[in-house]
Structure formats: C-alpha cells, structure tokens
Copies of this chain bind each other. A is one copy, B any other.
Amino acid sequence: MENNLNDKQIQILEVAEKLFAEKGFDGTSIRDISKIANINVAMISYYFGSKDLLLESLIKHKTIGLKEQLLVLIAENLEPVAKINKLIELYINRINCNRGIYRIMHFELTSKKNESILKYFTELKKANLKSVELIIKEGQAKGIFRKDIIIPLITPTIIGTFFHFQMNKDFYEEILDLKTDTQYDNFIKTDLTKHIQQTIKALLVYEN
C-alpha cells in the first residue's frame, strides 16, 4: 500500500519486471537484475529485503489503481453491451500495457505460495468479479442478457483468450502475417478486442 518508492527503486522494479517476464522468476538472478539496472547486488536486499519481497513490491506497485478504474467504469451511464465492451477494452489495455507483470502473476504465483501476496491477489480477483457481476446483473435486469450464465466464467473467457494469444505471440505473428510490433499491437487493439467483445456479446445476448 505504501508508495514510498524512490526513483532508483522504481528503476530496479522496471528491470526486474522485464527480466522476470522474459526468463521467469527463478530464471532471473538478482545479479542479472543488478547488472542491467547498473547497481550493486546488495542494493536489492538493501531496498527490498529479499528477492521474494522484490517481487511483492513489484506486483503491488503495478496493480494499484485497477480497482478504481473498475469503479469508474461501473458508475458510467452506458448500455449493458457498451459497458461490457468497455470492460473488455479496459482489461486488454491494462494487461497489454503491463505484459510483464501479468505474465508473472499467472506463472509464478501458482507455485510460489507467498501467503501475503496470495491474499492480495485473491482480493483483487474478487473485486474484479464483483464488477463484472454488477454489469451483467444490470443487463439481466434490463432483459438484455441471458440469465442462465455462470458469471464467474466470463472473466476466464475474456482474459484467457487474450492471454493465450499473448502467450503464443510468435505463432500468431506467423499465422496472421503480422510482421512488425506495430502490426501486432494493432491486431490486438482492433481484431482481437473485437473478437472477444463479439464472443462475450454472443454468449450473453444469444437467444436460441
């Protein structure tokens, strides 16, 4: 919760995020980090206490603000479908801008059983789920969305689709002929986002 991070600490976190995302938490040594960040190894222990606590700081540093973003969205006066679409955009954009950390969150946190950070995550996920629930129930009350839906399974479809795509970046770049990073980013922002929105809409509104 504390934000007392100086520039040097943030710089270290930046490097750590990049390396953790590239090579995994265990695959990255604090000497790797210190070398690229151009600092002494001891500085990491000095600032963060340990490698584990460094990860904890990193995650907290990168996830603050998400809850607020969701609350703003919910308060907006939008049609249910438009609201869901905006939620999807928000998720994709958020994850896309913080590729590194979200990847770490998925991969490392299932094995690492750091009690403190695990609780933090559960709370984050619960808040997310509550937001999605609110939006969908609003749509259901208005008679626009189906009612035979398991709401907690909506998020896996949104985030899971995006994640699987990101996870297989090289493959989809080849298959979809996305030659540059800009093309790839564009595809995410237009086609992939639309695909997910279309999917969720079809699922929610579909009437047989």
A residues contacting B by CB (< 8 A) are 22-27, 106-108, 110-111, 121-122, 125-126, 129, 150, 152-153, 155-157, 159-165, 167-172, 174-176, 191-192, 195-196, 198-199, 202-203, 206
B195 close to A172 (CB less than 8 A): no
A140 CB to nearest B CB, Å: 16
Report the bound CA distance from A206 to B203 in whole Å.
Answer: 9
Task: State the main secondary structure of chain A at its contact with B.
Answer: helix
Q: Please tell me if the beta carbons of B156 and A161 are within 8 angstroms of each other in the complex.
A: yes
Q: Which B residues are CB-close (under 8 A) to A153?
A: 161, 165, 191-192, 195
Q: Is the CB of A161 within 8 A of B157?
A: yes
Nearest chain B CB to A132 CB, angstrom units: 12
In the complex, are the beta carbons of B156 and A164 less than 8 A apart?
yes
- Whether the Cβ atoms of A172 and B152 lie closer than 8 Å is yes
A174 — which chain B residues lie within 8 A by C-beta?
A: 122
Contact B163 A163 (CB under 8 A): yes
Residue of B nearest to A28 (CB): B26
Q: Check A175 against B152 for contact (C-beta < 8 Å).
A: yes
Q: Report the minimal beta-carbon distance from A124 to chain B, rounded to whole angstroms.
A: 10
In the complex, what residues of B have CB within 8 A of residue A162's CB?
Answer: 156, 160
